[in-house]
Structure 1
Amino acid sequence: MAAIDDLIAQVPEPLRGRLVEQVKLLTERKQFGLVFQDHMPEAIEVPGLPPRRDDIVRLRGDDAETNFLVKFLRNGVAGVVEVSGTGEVVGELAEVHTSKLTVVKNFGEPIYAGLKSVGRIQRGGDKPFHAVIQGENYYALETLLYTHQGKADVIYIDPPYNTGSSDWIYNDRYVDGQDAYRHSKWLAFMKRRLEHAKRLLKPTGVIILAIDDTEQARLKLLCDDVFGEQNFLANIVWQGNVKNDARFSGDGIDYMLVFARSREALIEHGATWRELKPDVDKVFDAASRAWRESGGDSTKASRALKKWWSLQPKGSPVLASKHYAHVDDVREGEPYFGSPLMSPNFRKNLVYELAHPQTGRPFKTPVNGWRYAPESMKEMIRDGRIHFGKDETTLPLKKVYLREVSVQTVVPSFREDRRSAGKHLEDIIGSREFPFPKNTDVVARWINIVSGYNPEAVVVDFFVGTGTTTEAVMRMNAQDGGRRQSIVVTNNELASQTARALKKAGHLAGDAEWEAAGIFQKVTRPRIEAVVTGFRRDGSTYSGGFNENVEFFELTFEDENMVALGRRFAAIAPLLWLKAGGTGSVISDVDPAGWALNSDCSYAVLFDAAYSAGFIENVRDHVGTVRHAFIVTNQESAYQQIARELPPQSSSFSSTRLYDDYLRSFQINGKD
């Protein structure tokens, strides 16, 4: 270390201090465990954000990624000087038109985000809106920390697998298999996002991370570090397609690492993972249908159910429940099997006389007596749990209902052909623009399991890609009438080959041609639109659609001074709406009345403290409905006084001071 210390001593400040810190971190790490370079800073270009004085900018399309500092702005022209990675000026002042510049943001530098609506579909009545956000996911996560901190029941993510095939971007460059630091860059990339994700989860929240062999081991160690190894719940193994020409194993395995925000909180909440036995719902449907068609005759219905069982294909997993072949008349249409009532062991108190309820004559008592004591037997007879034959010559049976034993412990491995997911996506949008989408049924199954089948779960995905998670949540709602809400994020990233071709043709990020080729525009949005409305973009019918609401947004970057002055309310209005639950209309403009309630009265905004009396009166008129009150004032004392006068609402009611709370939130969340 002495040689390294001598070399560091020759480095000028402030870089020397940062080097000392990083070396200290490395020397403190244990021999075994996760060791990777942080690769600071991670930065992105932000096309469309107007440059300001003292911003770092680059020339659009500059492959060398040379940074410049904006010294002045005048009539659409910026005066810029080249700067080094440490911020030192290394070039002469030059003037460049702002249209040729792109602002660069380093992670750890606060941003102030807004949302711009680019489309809304409303078919779900008063259900919460699903939000689909196009934007860089790290900054989108900072935004969601303002709207959803501590509110997510489940986070499901399918991050880039880092296979070496240029499937993800770090510092605005595709990372390929030749990059010697691709694993540590990927870990640095993931760590920053997972630290934010952790804060989104409820105390009982769970995160599912899909991954393959390339990074599975490293991701597990990273999650142990971020979430705590005591909060690890499962490593689920998904065996997909098998390569028959593989030299060693058939491969085709993906994983889903599952971590709790707090395993202890989950246990205290009574959480258990259970699911229906394979295809058991088909038995319920068959029994219910037999009951209806028999006109409520259990004997005829039972014969029909037995015939249905005889037609099931050999090897079907549902055959494990074949002995549930009777249809009950007490619990109308419920399948059950009759369990013998003889005791396996002799006990004196189990030897008693039991009479047939119709004939009144006693059954022949079994040698060891009955299985249940007299009082228990009477209770079961009273509840209709005992099946009696036509007379006392046939021993009674206990009804064991399939529904009572229809769930099983979750098995952490399964087989599912992945090819069906690609065909499903192709059927929706008419092309295979994205070759490896996730399987909707698989995503829905595991979200349902880890959320305890919560019909009002809030589900977040900040690597949503083609939109599988949103479709999965909608399908879950359609199946059980739930009101689950998905909040998902995708960038508008291009495949590396497409990006190269567009650059060669003279198009750059931010150009219409470039943006039209991105995944959000070509796949995510068209897919979700077709799934909800039932119609593809070419006008052809895909399905009957879903009774759901969804809104599409673009992430914007705002000037904090303009926000503080109240001049960018329209940009942050969707954030307030999402923070209040995302139901009803968005209060999108400052109301001349001085305050406003949205259409379903789920939230209210006071724009001017001078109108607080009317605001308070109207909030009082909607006690139990208003979930959030936003109060615009520069004075903390005025905010506290108005907040105290608001009537007690539901336990989930809260109030927020604008714009101080918004600005402070992004200042805190932006610290890396």
Structure 2
Amino acid sequence: MNWGITPGVAKRLLENGYLRAGKAKLKEPQKYVISYLTSGIVNDIEAGVAILRGKNPDGTVDAFYPSGRDKMPTTNWNRPSHDAQQYGTKVVNALLSNRPFPYPKSLYAVEDALRFFIGGKPNAIVVDFFAGSGTTAHAVIRLNKQDNGLRQCISVTNNEVAAKEHDALRKQELRPGDPNWEKLGICDYITKPRVAAAVTGITPSGEPIRGDYKFIDEFPMSDGFEANAEFFTLTYETPVAVNHSIAFTRVSPLLWLRAGSRGKRIDKLPPDGWAVVDAYGLLSDVDATDAFVKAIKKSNGLRVAFIVTDDDRRFQNIVRRLPDHVEPVRLYESYLTNFNFAKGD
């Protein structure tokens, strides 16, 4: 038998009506089945989130969650919508025209799990560091459709090939980095095509997706979603290229992400030495500070100002002229500092 709580905790739960002994099972090693409320539900009762009506004849609490209120989920879900075969494997097969992916999670199970945490947060940002087939991003897109939310999902994955493909590719004398190897990696072969298919309603082969979404909202999968998705490949850039802004075009998406992934993006070094878009500004020539600061002050909703300079004093002078709600970031400083640490300097 396994104990989920210690005797002292069990005694306190019993005294407060949160624990009971069920019917006797004389043939079992433990004669009585012990049931108790989890700490989350107890906290909900004591905080008034769950309403206490009184006590049952056996001394246990009689409580309920009012309609429309969030409630603490149970530890074991048994719902048809959470079947991984029906709504994980088959959904991925429909999206990707039967490209193989082992054990994808049910789309609706992930959606239900996310709803407990971000159902009331329409501007939430979800970070998935092990994106797999992209189920989490797909679920976030569905949540947004249901309540007109603006949630973002940042999905991260490597481009590793499956074990079976690995052995077959090695026999062909291919290795990581070869185009014929990389095209079968999980990111290029599964994650990106799955997200693209979900948004557009079109499979990688160009056909409308067959099948319908079910449960919370039902509509053809081929309808797609009003959503945006962009894919980036993380690479290593040499410090010389970064320091001299030679790699700016490749670095520019990070600035846009850092500022909230909203509005336009500055993809090239501005010819005037500065540029301001919806969420952020870039000052690449400190001699253009006056025009940059004026544009920043006129902008509504701008969050971050990226400043390129290796002069601490000039950087601080510029910072003092910026509005309080704008976060100053000295561009490249962290990257170059980390590079020096790695070298042991």
Q: TM-score range by the shorter chain?
A: 0.7 to 0.9
| Alignment-derived partner of residue 8 in structure 1 | none
Choose between structure 1 and 2: higher helix proportion. 2
* SS class of match (2:114): helix
Q: Deviations over 1:540-562 (max 9, x none)?
A: 11221111111101111010122
Change (3 A) 1:532 1:507: same
Aligned to 1:591: 270
**Residue 642 (structure 1) aligned with residue 327 (structure 2):** no
Q: Deviations over 1:459-482 (max 9, x none)?
A: 011110111111011011011111
Over the matched positions of the two proteins, sequence identity in percent amounts to: 37
Indicate which of 68, 73, 77 corresponds to 1:414: 77
* Cross-structure match for 1:632: 308
Deviations 1:332-357 (A, max 9, x none): xxxxxxxxxxxxxxxxxxxxxxxxxx
Supply the distance in 1 between the matched residues of 2:135 and 2:341 (Cα, whole angstroms): 32
Compute the displacement of 1:667 (Å).
6.2
Which of residues 609, 619, 629 in structure 1 aligns to 2:286? 609
- Structure 1 residues 269-668: aligned runs within 5 Å: 404-407=66-69, 408-415=71-78, 416-420=82-86, 421-451=88-118, 453-542=120-209, 543-598=222-277, 601-622=278-299, 624-649=300-325, 653-664=326-337
* Structure 2 CA distance for partners of 1:273 and 1:571, relative to 1, 3 Å: farther
1 CA distance for matches of 2:280 and 2:257?
10
The residue correspondences of 1:62-101 to structure 2 (distance < 5 A) are none
Would you tell me which structure has more strand in proportion to its own residues? 1
CA 587–536 in structure 1, closer or farther in 2 if over 3 Å, else same? same
* Cα distance in 1 for residues equivalent to 2:136 and 2:327: 29
Deviation for aligned residue 1:529: 0.7
Write the letter of the residue equivalent to 2:75. P
Give distance in 2, aligned partners of 1:565 and 1:575. 17
**Greater relative CO, 1 or 2 (CA 8 Å, sep 6+):** 1
Q: SS at 2:307's partner residue?
A: strand
Q: Partners in 2 of 1:417 and 1:535 — Cα distance?
A: 24
Provide closer, same or farther for how the CA distance between residues 620 and 553 of structure 1 changes in structure 2, counting only shifts above 3 A.
same
- State the alpha-carbon separation in 1 of the partners of residues 264 and 338 from structure 2: 24
Change beyond 3 A, Cα 1:556–1:478: same
- Decide whether aligned partners of structure 1 residues 578 and 667 sit closer, same or farther in structure 2, where only a CA change above 3 A counts: farther
> What is the rounded CA distance, in whole Å, between the counterparts of 2:340 and 2:145 in structure 1?
40
Q: Secondary structure at the match of 1:487?
A: strand
Instruction: Quote how far apart the aligned CAs of 1:669 are.
Output: 9.7
Measured against aligned partners, the alpha-carbon deviations of 1:352-375 in whole angstroms (never above 9, x if no partner) come to xxxxxxxxxxxxxxxxxxxxxxxx
Counterpart of 1:611 in structure 2: which amino acid?
A: A
Letter of the 1:610 partner, please give it.
D
The 2-side partners of 1:436 and 1:566 are apart by 44
Code of the aligned partner of 1:615:
F
Normalised by the length of structure 1, the TM-score is 0.38
In 2: Cα distance, 1:602 partner to 1:406 partner: 35
Q: Which residue of 2 is the match for residue 308 of structure 1?
A: none
For 2:76, give the aligned amino acid.
S
Q: How does 1:24-423 map to 2 (within 5 A)?
A: 404-407=66-69, 408-415=71-78, 416-420=82-86, 421-423=88-90
* C-alpha distance after superposition, 1:264-323 (max 9, x if no partner): xxx9xxx9999xxxxxxxxxxxxxxxxxxxxxxxxxxxxxxxxxxxxxxxxxxxxxxxxx
Q: CA deviation at 1:511?
A: 0.8
Contact 1:273 1:452 in 2 (8 A): no
CA distance in 1, matches of 2:148, 2:339: 36
Which residue is equivalent to 1:324? Answer: none
Gaps of 5+ in 1: 1-262, 275-402
Q: Which residue of 1 aligns with 2:219?
A: none
8 Å CA contact 1:273, 1:410 repeated in 2? no
Q: Which residue identity does 2:130 align to in structure 1?
A: F
SS of equivalent residue, structure 2 residue 223: coil
SS in structure 1 of the partner of residue 328 of structure 2: strand
1:49-75 CA distance string (max 9 Å, x none): xxxxxxxxxxxxxxxxxxxxxxxxxxx
Letter in 2 for 1:642: I
The answer as to whether partners of 1:458 and 1:487 remain within 8 angstroms in 2 is yes
State the secondary structure of the residue aligned to 1:626: coil
Report the 3-state secondary structure (helix = DSSP H, G, I; strand = E; otherwise coil) of the residue aligned with 2:120.
Answer: coil
**Aligned residue pairs: how many?**
270
Runs of 4+ in 1 over 2 A off after TM superposition: 271-274, 403-409, 450-453, 661-671
Whole-angstrom CA distance in 2 between matches of 1:412 and 1:667: 47
The answer to whether the Cα contact below 8 Å between 1:448 and 1:454 also exists between their aligned partners in 2 is no
Q: Deviations over 1:486-514 (max 9, x none)?
A: 11111111111211111111211111110
Give, in angstroms, the shift of residue 451 of structure 1.
3.6
Contact 2:97/2:204, CA 8 A, preserved across alignment: no
Structure 2: 5+ residue stretches without partners: 1-39, 51-64, 210-221
Q: How many Å separate the matches in 2 of 1:447 and 1:273? A: 20
CA contact (8 A) 1:633 1:659 kept: no
Residue 215 of structure 2 aligns with which residue? none
Counterpart-to-counterpart distance in 2, 1:481 and 1:456: 10
The alpha carbon displacement at 1:405 in A equals 2.2
**Aligned counterparts of 1:424 and 1:531: Cα–Cα separation in 2:** 10
2: CA distance between counterparts of 1:637 and 1:545? Answer: 52
The alignment partner of 1:551 has SS state of coil
Give the Å deviation of 1:565. Answer: 2.0
